A and B are shown apart, each in its own frame.
Chain A
Amino acid sequence: MYQTTATAAAAETSRSPFIRGLQQLARNKLGVIGGLLLLLTVIAAVGAPWIAPHHFAAVNFQIPFQTPGTAGYPLGTDDLGRDVLSRLLYGVRTSLWIGLLSVAVAVGVGTPLGLLAGYSRVADAVVSRLTDVALAFPFLIIAVGLAAIRGPSLENAAIALGIANIPIIVRVVRGEALRISGLEFVQAARAMNISQARILFQHLLPNASSVIIVQATVIIPVAIIGEAMLSFLGLGIQPPEPSLGIMLADAQEYIYRSPWAAVWPGLTIIVMCLGFNMFGDALRDALDPNAR
């Protein structure tokens, strides 16, 4: 009995914390559900051209405002008689792309700045004051301003949303870096003449990875909704191209006549956000090498 458990334990040990984390992730029910939801959205996004029964911009003025279940239009049609299901699938595609792109911008720029601010006092003074200034502006105003300057397009909206989220990433990463750089292994590295770049990226970064991942999963839904607002203002995606945000905004006008047109994109946003949050939460737990 003792022997077998001991050997089993030995077999399981000596994997990197990342791999062990993934194994743990598979055991977390909520995380698996979140992962499946995400997988579903990714399939919808990637497979949209093949799955969608109609073209997303194909209008049919004969049949506007159909309820779900109509033959040929399983989720009904919108005010112009376009198929809601097809628009939804393409909408997921754009929204997911916007979410990922803006996270890439926010994390890509915010992480190094945050690490530096948390590690060096001088950098902290500069970076933190700048983020303070940036945070003084409401998130949307920045995004609107940036999108207006660069002109309306999907990529520009995503970049604007990403930039608007940089201060948040900087804050979170800085706090974590501050905590980690007080730990003895960083002190030891400094006493060993290890270069700063190495300390930042080999010591601080992996240890800060869990909070970065979690923050990223929070930013994606924020970006998806932010895009809806930008598009509503005419600064995001241009019609007739669909996005979940635009569909929601369009449906608002006819909410009393045809509430279904608002329900589907709203529900999809909820599912995506939930998926990202649940998966992110589980990922954080799984990646923490200290908690077992």
Chain B
Amino acid sequence: MTTTAHETDSSPIRPDPLITVRDLRVAYDGQDAVRGASFAVAPGRSLAIVGGSGSGKSTTVKALLGLLPENARVVGGEVDYAGERLADLSEGTLRHYRGARIGLVPQDPMASLNPSMRIGDQICDALKQYGMRSKEDRRRRALQLMDDAGIPEPARRFRQYPHEFSGGMRQRILIAIALSGDPELLIADEPTSALDVTVQKRILDHLDTLAEDRGLTRILVTHDLGVAADRADEVVVMSDGEVVEQGTPRGILRAPSHPYSQRLVDAAPRLDAHRRREEAPREDDGGPSFLSIRGLVKDFKIRGFKEPLRAVDDVSFDIRKGTTTAVIGESGSGKSTVARITLGLEKATSGEARVGARAIRPESRDDIRYLRSLTQPVFQDPFSSLNPYWSVAGLIAESLVPRRDLGRAEKRRRVRECLDHVALPQSALGKYPGELSGGQRQRVAIARALVAEPELLVCDEAVSALDVLVQKQILDLLRGLQSEIGVSCLFITHDLGVTSEIADEVVVLRRGRVVEAGPVGRSSTPRRMSTRLLCWRPSQDGASEASSVFGAGGTELTSVTRHPALTHNTTKGEEWNASERGRSPGPERRRPSPQRI
């Protein structure tokens, strides 16, 4: 009995791996996506596959399941599962293997459930596949599974539809479905990447507990080295279709041997980042406040409810010239509303804003225009923030359109200059967003914002949709630009690690209120429970230290009930505010765009 000896580490691997992958090669239309991946997982152990987008990690997993898309082919290597070669199995046997022996928790909880089918029926459907004949049995088992997956009141929830579930809850349902066939191996493909940090932790914890109770073997695919290190016995780092490093989480985090893992480890935002950062030359406290906001309140009317929803409640903060103020909070905390008001996209219900000496009255069109002329936005989603029909040149030049004083040549010169600022080649000018990667698109968005020479950059979750390495590049870029041209920045994020990388001041919002505010150093030893919860990041040392430092979070959130409009659909459970990242349940995104003309 020989085991695959790709172990660089001395971590014990039992002699009989449940699944062994040997030199797996997969090609899409003749182009290699996976170039020789080898690893093995022993029964009851867990393996994490880590890599950036395009590293081939998802393709590897799909190949294991026999779920490759039509244009992809396994061109070499083999996969042994419990002593059998998967390639030798018939499609029928393979179908039985999927689900009954290998469970999959898919990536996107929003797209993976049938929106027109009751939750319970979807679980029962899976059970039927695994040969459970009696309807009554199926129902009982489904309720049990829902209960196991941590769904409160399963009997009532059984009859509900996916839209009545938050993102976290949907992911739990998907976990229940993955477990319904009683598999031995559970594969989770980025199970929490689309969720809020605070929910992420709870889901992953729950998944771990469930899997451990059942003695499941696990493969976790993630782009987050921290998450991987926290939860796996062994980590495989993939880059560009190859396994570049393999070993225990502790080993990789402490002493990454491959340059790519080194970069991954370095790129992860750290809570103590500000300490590593060179202190910016600050005219401390004497610095003039560029924008000051006092007592900001924003109410939203919700159809069917008399009482308006208060999304932002008495928020005050300052942004000093040339510095970055971060507003952080969970989804639904009102942070995006603050950004929209600052951009003049939303009218404040009450409160006072001042730019320098000039007061901005929300009802004055001139004031709003003035505010807009000073600020420029960078939004979260690099895929929807650029008009797909425009070339990069047109996109960047757009923010110069209101500047009638500039000539054509001057505008073109500025666009070119900005491209240099954001480190994009001049050849990018003629490209269209569809041809650019997420990080490149975000650079274009930043260039578009900068070309108008704004006083204030409003970044609404500008790096949240990017993977760690790209995120680091963009943060570095923003920091560099700030010291170069002295633009002020309002940075909206849910990630305290990112905040620590970029911000000078932090405002922590919770349910529309400021719960904590101050310079970054102070806030990173958070005093309030909600700040602490936000702080949760997968620990950097491979153990679950982080969770113990911050205590068992979540108790405070559990008791919260909010505006009836937000609670009547979801249970008053832990995840009242936990929709997927970027789509807050707050009313600001209910209607596509509340406009005023």
Q: In the complex, what's the smallest C-beta–C-beta distance from A183 to chain B, in angstroms?
A: 5
List of B residues within 8 angstroms of A193 by Cβ? 369, 372-373, 402
Flag if B377 contacts A188 (CB, 8 Å): yes
CB atoms of B592 and A178 under 8 A apart: yes
Q: How many chain A residues touch B (Cβ–Cβ < 8 Å)?
A: 38
Which of chain A's residues 185-206 have a Cβ closer than 8 Å to chain B? 185-196, 198, 202-203, 206
Which residue on chain B has the smallest CB distance to residue A190? Answer: B345
The residue of chain A having its C-beta at the shortest distance from the C-beta of B392 within the complex is A14
Q: Which residues of A contact B381 (CB under 8 A)?
A: 184
A187 with B377: CB separation less than 8 A? yes
Kindly provide the distance from the CB of A200 to the nearest chain B CB, expressed in whole angstroms: 11
Q: Give the segment of A95-103, A114-122, A220-228, A256-264 that binds chain B.
A: A114-122
> Beta-carbon contacts of B378-412 to A below 8 Å, as 1s and 0s?
01110011111101000000110110000000000
- Categorize the interface residue count of chain B: 35 or more
CB-CB under 8 A for A290 and B434, given A178-B592, A191-B377, A192-B402: yes
A189 to B344, CA, bound (A): 12
Residues of B within 8 A of A119 (CB): 593, 595
Residue of A nearest to B400 (CB): A192
Cβ-based interface call for B31 (8 A): yes
For B388, give its contact among A14, A186, A290 (CB under 8 Å): A290
Q: Given A14-B435, A184-B385, A192-B452, are A120 and B376 neighbors across the interface (CB < 8 Å)?
A: no
Complex-state Cα separation, A202 to B399, whole angstroms: 13
Give the 4 A-B CB pairs with smallest separation, nearest first: A182-B592, A184-B385, A289-B388, A184-B379
Assess the B431–A13 pair: CB atoms within 8 A: yes
* Shortest CB distance A202–B (Å): 8
Give the chain A neighbours of B30 by CB distance below 8 A: 1, 5
15 additional A-B pairs beyond A14-B430, A123-B597, A187-B340, beta carbons within 8 Å, are A121-B596, A122-B597, A181-B595, A187-B377, A187-B593, A190-B345, A191-B375, A192-B376, A193-B369, A193-B372, A194-B402, A198-B401, A202-B387, A203-B387, A207-B388
Q: Name 20 interchain pairs, CB-CB below 8 A, sorted by A.
A: A14-B430, A119-B595, A120-B597, A121-B597, A122-B597, A123-B597, A181-B592, A182-B589, A186-B593, A187-B379, A191-B343, A191-B375, A192-B372, A192-B376, A192-B452, A193-B372, A194-B398, A194-B401, A202-B387, A207-B388
The answer for the CA separation of A186 and B390 in the assembled complex, in Å, is: 13
Chain B residues proximal to chain A, CB less than 8 Å: 30-31, 340, 343-345, 369, 372-373, 375-377, 379-381, 384-389, 391, 398-399, 401-402, 430-435, 445, 448, 452, 458, 589, 591-597
Contact B595 A289, beta carbon cutoff 8 Å: no
Question: Which residues of B lie under 8 Å from residue A120 when comparing CB positions?
Answer: 595, 597
A49 to B454, CA, bound (A): 65
- Please determine whether B376 and A191 come into contact, CB atoms closer than 8 angstroms: yes
**In the bound complex, how far is the Cα of B435 from the Cα of A13, in angstroms?**
7
Q: Determine chain A's interface SS by DSSP, over half rule.
A: helix
Q: Given contacts A207-B389, A289-B389, are A191 and B432 in contact (CB under 8 A)?
A: no
